[in-house]
Amino acid sequence: MWMEECDHFDIVHCIFLLLFYYCLILYRKRKNQIYFYLIYDFTTDY
């Protein structure tokens, strides 16, 4: 019983970590995209 609960907790913890890293990567990609578009706008301004 206790082992099953422990396994369940580990699975939930792993899923949470995966989601966290996924969101972090998406956020960094989005930030890079925003910087890229800003630079692109500045270079194409003139």
Instruction: Give pLDDT tens digits for 23-34.
Output: 898 888 888 887
User: Could you tell me the pTM of the whole model?
Assistant: 0.51
Q: Which of 26, 27, 3, 7 is nearest to 15 (CA)?
A: 7
Q: CA-CA distance, 23 to 5, in Å (whole number)?
A: 27
Q: CA-CA distance, 17 to 35, in Å (whole number)?
A: 27
Residue 18 pLDDT grade (very low, low, confident, very high; cuts 50, 70, 90) = very high
What is the pLDDT, as a whole number, of residue 6? 65
